[in-house]
A and B are shown apart, each in its own frame.
Chain A
Amino acid sequence: MTINPDLQGRSYPAAEVYDVGREKIREFARAVKATHPAHFDVEAAAALGHSDVVAPPTFAIIVAQRADAQLIEDPDSGIDFSRVVHADQRFIHHRPIVAGDRLVAELHVDGVRAMGGGAMITTRSEIFALTSGDANDPREAVATATSSILVRGEGQ
């Protein structure tokens, strides 16, 4: 199976809404061994000017990997998930993620580069918060998560 070179430039529109819960922020914070009180305690977060508990800097990976799954599971992509290795990751935060946020992600395939028998694929998730009940607009830019995955070819 080879990677479809036409993936480059493809976009997947925002799909399901991800509701950020307090307990999920606490669970994720514990899982990355974070101890800062602003992840756990609403008052500690408020003392720093946040409306609710604040997500750790890599929390957006949950939303970004859900968006990436649309590409990986796309039968047209040619990606074998069992051969995927995470090569690099970046998060640019436009504003902090807090409990109560309703997030959506638009996925953009920014690069597809053949490497040996495999390929390096760079994706960018533009993560927005819904500012009304409407899943379309208006919305506020929250984070940009860029990820490169190496899909190993046979024998790699």
Chain B
Amino acid sequence: MTPTFSELAVGQDIGSRSIDVTRTDLVKYAGASGDFNPIHWNEAFATGVGLPGVIAHGMFTMGSAVQLVTDWAGDPAAVVDFQTRFTKPVPVADTTGTPDAGAVIEISGAVGALDVEAGTARVDLTVLSAGQKVLMKAQAVVRLA
């Protein structure tokens, strides 16, 4: 069911989802995006530069978080503006060979503002991992009919 602009209200919940992340996911994202920074796949390199271990690409977190908005809007092209600040790294434990996730990202969204003139809704995302906010000011502007 695609949302209709006139039926939206500020504060309205757009839903939530949880995303399991593994080291394999980070390797896939590296290949898909072309970002091969070793902090996202090599433990020794990551700890050598002072990180707690391998961390997810900020762009992986940003890119997977917006799927909640895309699916809610009903058309990926409805997202006309999307921004975030990366505030905390998402360490991804090595669970290779087990069915376990190396990290879990929890996403929820609510309508933060409506622009009647432009026919756009701003969706504010809350993105957590291990109980910490990993994205701040994660806002997607969606154009709706």
Contacts and interface: CB of A to CB of B under 8 A. Distances in A.
B7 interface: no
A85 B86 CA distance: 9
A35 B59 CA distance: 17
Contacts of B58: 86, 89
Interface string B53-80: 0000011101110110111000111011
Contact of A55 (B25, B49, B76, B82): B76
A127 to B, nearest CB: 14
A6 interface: no
A89 B59 contact: yes
A35 to B, nearest CB: 7
Specify the main secondary structure of chain A where it touches its partner. Answer: mixed
Interface string A15-44: 000000000100110111111101100000
Interface in B60-112: 60, 62-64, 66-67, 69-71, 75-77, 79-86
A56 interface: yes
B6 interface: no
A20 to B, nearest CB: 13
Given A88-B84, A90-B81, A56 B32 contact: no
A136 interface: no
A57 to B, nearest CB: 4
A45 B77 CA distance: 10
Interface of B: 19, 25, 28-29, 31-35, 37, 49, 58-60, 62-64, 66-67, 69-71, 75-77, 79-86, 137, 140
28 contacts: A28-B33, A30-B28, A31-B31, A31-B32, A32-B63, A32-B67, A33-B67, A34-B67, A36-B70, A36-B76, A38-B77, A48-B75, A50-B77, A56-B76, A57-B70, A58-B59, A61-B33, A62-B34, A86-B86, A87-B85, A88-B86, A89-B58, A89-B86, A91-B81, A91-B83, A92-B81, A93-B77, A93-B79
